[in-house]
Amino acid sequence: MSTEMERRASRRFMMSLPVQVRYEGTAGRVEHRAVTRDVSFRGLYFLADTGYQAGSPIEFILTLPREITMAGDVHIRCYAQVVRVEEHDAARGVAARIDRYEFLPGPM
């Protein structure tokens, strides 16, 4: 177990969930799909094949499947800020802090 102080403000849950990410690129709005590694009330970490910059605002739609909600799929639009980008072998890991969110009505 690490002796370093835990810096996270809320507990993370290891979940592989689909996430649709949007951000403003140099050529306009960019949208792509990614997969989360972990999620919390205040943030998430996802794997992507495109570049991000720490400090950049992003918007994403997270889908909680019926296996988690015990009802139908739930879609949540989140507005966040990239706090860290890590290089991995085949992808980039992106950590983002959620600033605000809203539940979306109906199926996507």
Alpha carbon of 41 to those of 25, 96, 103: distances in Å? 27, 11, 13
**73 pLDDT exceeds 50?**
yes
DSSP 69: H
Indicate the SS3 state at residue 47. Answer: strand
Q: Which residues contact 60 (CB under 8 A, 6 or more apart)?
A: 19, 20, 21, 22, 46, 77, 78, 80, 96
Which pLDDT score is estimated for 28?
87
**6 pLDDT exceeds 70?**
no
Question: pLDDT tens for residues 8-46?
Answer: 567 889 999 999 999 988 888 989 999 999 999 899 999
Quick check: 40 and 8 in contact, CB under 8 A?
A: yes
Q: Which of 1-5, 22-26, 94-98, 103-107 has the lowest mean pLDDT?
A: 1-5
The pTM assigned to this predicted structure is 0.82
DSSP 107: -
Domains and CATH numbers, the chain: 13-104 (2.40.10.220)
**99 pLDDT exceeds 90?**
yes
